[in-house]
Amino acid sequence: MWDIFGIAIELAIAWCSWRLWLCIILAIGIIAGVCYKFPEHNGFWPLTSPIGGIIIAFGVWWHWRSERYE
């Protein structure tokens, strides 16, 4: 199990830029923070999951735009 996790991390490090990592960490932080703050509401999952998806999509777009102009 840990081998698969290690392979996934290595691929993510090789394929993702710092911009995308920043957005992934921000999305995970927002979702985890809301789930921690409001455990009785199951972290408002219908609200936080689209927000996390939008943040990650913004990170992909930001990476694509930066690679296009370099």
**What's the domain range around 41?**
17-68
Overall number of domains in the chain? 1
21 domain-assigned:
yes
Contacts of residue 49, defined as CB under 8 A and 6 or more positions apart, other chains included, come to 31
Establish if 11 belongs to a structural domain.
Answer: no
Residue 10 within a domain: no
What integer pLDDT is reported at residue 35 of this predicted model?
Answer: 87
Residue 24, judged by CB atoms within 10 A of its CB (0-12, 13-18, 19+), counts as: middle
pLDDT of residue 6: 74
In a domain, 12, yes or no: no
- Domain assignment of residue 5, yes or no: no
For 26-64, write each residue's pLDDT tens digit.
998 998 898 888 888 877 888 888 998 899 889 889 888
pTM (2 d.p.): 0.75
